[in-house]
Amino acid sequence: MPEITLLDRSHDRAGFDCGVPELNAFLKATARQHAQKGISRTFVLTDGTPAILGFFTLTLCELYSEQLPPPHARKYPFHGLPAVRLARLAVSRKEQKKGYGELLLAEAVHRTALIAEQAGVTGLFVDAKDDAARQFYERYGFRAIPGHFLQLFLPIETVRAAN
């Protein structure tokens, strides 16, 4: 049974390959450093072994109401607004097309809801790597940011409804 846990030393980062060099490099060389410095948290999907089937990284960010899709922009003041950023999401090449991307995204949304209960956020943001990734996120309710085709936003109302 797959489980999602916080990345630690016991996980086999060196053996992970999602096919995207930048994502592989982040997991192998940067993810733990960022966690130690309080920059972000990376969560890994495993099957009970040290092998990593997939991962996602969450961090906090600030945005302004004009960066939101119009229906949402009207709800917020003009000063900086708190949000969660899904900084990275990847599935091992060997494990793709098994629904693990959706499982990781669902966990990221769930953790965003938990953060919102404690600190308050406007939603979950993601920078899609390409058009296929954009379409993946849009299937789950993310909306494109005006003028930024690959930047997407999941409103906090949708995050809450998913939990």
pLDDT tens string 55-110: 999 999 988 777 777 777 777 667 788 999 999 999 999 999 999 999 999 999 99
The pLDDT, as a whole number, for residue 154 is 94
Mean model confidence pLDDT for the chain: 92
Express as a percent the part of the chain with pLDDT over 90. 80
Backbone φ and ψ for 49, nearest 5 degrees, come out as -110, 175
Q: What does the alpha-carbon distance between residue 163 and residue 144 come to, in Å, rounded to a whole number?
A: 22
Name the 3-class secondary structure at 74.
coil
Decide if pLDDT at 126 tops 80: yes
**CB distance 64 to 25 below 8 Å:** no
More confident residue, 22 or 69: 22
Radius of gyration of the chain (CA): 16
Domain-by-domain residue ranges, the chain?
Answer: 3-161
107, amino acid identity: E
Structure pTM? Answer: 0.92
The pLDDT, as a whole number, for residue 21 is 96
More confident residue, 148 or 11: 11
The CATH H-level superfamily of 3-161 is Gcn5-related N-acetyltransferase (GNAT) (3.40.630.30)
The pLDDT, as a whole number, for residue 144 is 87
Confidence of residue 148 (pLDDT cuts 50, 70, 90): confident
The pLDDT, as a whole number, for residue 77 is 67
The pLDDT, as a whole number, for residue 67 is 75
> Up-side HSE of residue 9: CA atoms within 13 Å toward CB?
1
